[in-house]
Structure 1
Amino acid sequence: MVLESYFMRILAVTTLRNEAPYIVEWVAHMRAIGVTDLLVYTNDCDDGTDALLAVLAKQGVLHHIVQQVPKGTSPQWQALKAAWKHPLRKSCDWAVACDVDEFINVHLGEGSLHDLIAAVPDQTDAIAMPWRLFGNAGIDRFEDRPITEQFQQAIPADAMFPIAATFFKTVFKPAGPFNGFGVHRPKQKDAAKHPRPYWIAYDMEQNATLLGQMPQRMSLIGMARGVRSVECNHYSLRSAQSFLMKHARGLPNRSSKPIDLAYWVQRNFNTEHNPSIDRSRRARIAEMQRLLALKDVAQAHQAGVEHHQNRIAHILGQPEGYELYCDILMAAEGRILPDHKAREMFQLYQKLKHRE
Structure 2
Amino acid sequence: MMKDEAPFLLEWYAHHLAVGFTKILVYTNDCSDGTDDMLIRLEELGLGYHRRNDIPEGVKPQPSAMKYAQAEPKVAEADWILMFDADEFLCINYGDGTLDPMLDAAGDANGIVITWRIFGSGNVVDWSRDPVSEQYLYAAPPTWNKGWGVKTLFKFDPDKWKIGIHRPSIKNKHLETGFPDTVKWLNGSGLPMEDYFKFRGWRSIRRTVGYQWAQMNHYAVKSIDSYAIRKLRGNVNNKKDKYNADYWSLQDRNEVYDDKILRYTERRKQIMDELLTDPVLARLHWAAIDRVEARLVEYRKTDDYVTLKASLIEASQVPITKIVAKPPKARNPAEIAALMSQVEKSNASRPMNERRTKPEAGFADVGEGGDGFVPGQIDVSAETAVEWIDNHGIALPADVRIFAQNTLDLVMRGKYQRRLARRIGRMVEDGEKLLDLGAGIGFLSIFTAKQLPQVTVIAQEDNASRMHIMRSILAHNEAALGDRLCMTTEQVVFPDDAKTVARINQMIADEKPDVLRASYAQIGAKLLSRVDLGTVKRIVLTGPAIGTFLREYPQIDAPVLTPSEELSMPEFVIIMPKATGQP
Q: Please indicate, yes or no, whether the TM-score normalized by the shorter chain is above 0.5.
A: yes
Give the 5 Å matches for 1:276-355.
276-337=260-321, 349-350=327-328, 352=330, 354=332
Aligned pair in 2 of structure 1 residues 351, 253: CA closer, same or farther (>3 Å)?
Answer: closer
Compared with structure 1, are the counterparts of its residues 179 and 281 closer, same or farther at alpha carbon in structure 2 (3 Å cutoff)? same
The correspondence of residues 1-356 of structure 1 with structure 2, limited to 5 A, is 15-122=1-108, 124-160=109-145, 163=146, 165-175=147-157, 178-190=160-172, 191-196=175-180, 197-212=183-198, 214-215=199-200, 217-226=201-210, 228-253=212-237, 255-256=239-240, 258-337=242-321, 349-350=327-328, 352=330, 354=332
Preserved contact between residue 246 and residue 315 of structure 2 (Cα < 8 Å): no
Give the unaligned 5+ runs of structure 2.
336-583
Report the alpha carbon displacement of residue 202 of structure 1 after superposing the two structures with TM.
3.5
Name the CA shift for 1:66/1:224 in 2 (closer, same or farther; >3 Å). closer
Q: Contact 1:315–1:322 (CA<8 Å) still a contact in 2?
A: no
1:222 Cα deviation (Å)? 3.6
Counting matched residue pairs gives 330
CA distance in structure 2 between the partners assigned to 1:192 and 1:256 by the alignment: 40
| 1:256-313 per-position Cα deviation (integer Å, ceiling 9, x unaligned) | 4621110000010111110001222222111111111123211111111111112223
Is the partner of 1:129 in helix, strand or coil? strand
- Identify the structure with bigger relative contact order (alpha carbons < 8 Å, sequence gap 6+): 1
- Write the deviation string for residues 170-194 of structure 1: whole angstroms up to 9, x where unpaired: 1110038842221111122232235
Shift in CA distance, 25/90, structure 1 to aligned 2, threshold 3 Å: same
Query: How far apart are 1:234 and its partner, in Å?
Result: 0.2
| CA contact 2:160–2:170 (8 Å) conserved in 1 | yes
CA gap of 1:53–1:350, structure 2 versus 1, over 3 A, is closer
TM-superposed deviation, 1:316: 3.0
Measured against aligned partners, the alpha-carbon deviations of 1:218-268 in whole angstroms (never above 9, x if no partner) come to 111242445521000000111111111221233323524621110000010
Query: Which amino acid in structure 2 is aligned with residue 149 of structure 1?
Result: E
Distance 1:268-1:297 versus aligned 2 partners, 3 A rule: same
Q: By how many angstroms is 1:333 displaced?
A: 4.1
CA deviation string 1:43-66 (max 9, x = no partner): 111112122222222212221122
Aligned equivalent of 2:415: none
Deviations 1:196-233 (A, max 9, x none): 22211144142432311x32x11112424455210000
SS of the aligned residue for 1:40 comes to strand
Distance 1:203 1:25 in 2: 26
Equivalent in the alignment of 1:12: none
One-letter identity of the residue aligned with 1:327? S
* Contact 2:189–2:214 (8 Å) recurs in 1: no
Cα pair distance change 1:244/1:252, threshold 3 Å: same
Determine helix, strand or coil for the equivalent of 2:112: strand
If the length of structure 1 is used for normalisation, what is the TM-score?
Answer: 0.85
User: Aligned equivalents of 2:315 and 2:239: distance in 1?
Assistant: 24
Cα separation, 1, equivalents of 2:305 and 2:57: 25
Identity percentage of aligned residues: 28
* Unmatched segments (≥5 aa) in structure 1: 1-14
Q: Distance in 1 between matches of 2:314 and 2:34?
A: 32
- Give CA-to-partner distance per residue, 1:148-168, whole Å, 9 cap, x none: 0000101111112xx3x0111
Q: Is the 8 A contact 2:116 2:148 kept in 1?
A: yes
Moved more, 303-312 or 199-208: 199-208
Report which stretch shifted further, 285-294 or 259-268.
285-294
- Does the C-alpha gap of structure 1 residues 194 and 16 become closer, same or farther in structure 2, counting only changes over 3 Å? farther
State whether residues 87 and 218 of structure 2, in contact with CA within 8 Å, keep that contact through their aligned partners in structure 1. Answer: yes
Contact 1:270 1:333 in 2 (8 A): no
The CA distance in 1 between the partners of 2:262 and 2:307, in whole Å, is: 36
Question: Which 4+ stretches in 1 moved above 4 angstroms?
Answer: 224-227, 348-351, 353-356
How big is the shift at 1:139? 1.0
User: Residues 265 and 89 (structure 1 numbering): CA distance in 2 closer, same or farther, change over 3 Å?
Assistant: same
Report the Cα distance in structure 2 between the residues aligned to 1:349 and 1:318, rounded to whole angstroms.
Answer: 34
Instruction: Assess if the C-alpha contact under 8 Å between 2:29 and 2:236 holds in 1.
Output: no
- Report which stretch shifted further, 15-24 or 311-320: 311-320
Call closer, same or farther: CA 1:56–1:106 in 2, change over 3 Å: same
The residue type paired with residue 174 of structure 1 is F
More off after superposition, 28-37 vs 307-316:
307-316
In structure 2, how many angstroms separate the alpha carbons of the residues matched to 1:159 and 1:176? 34
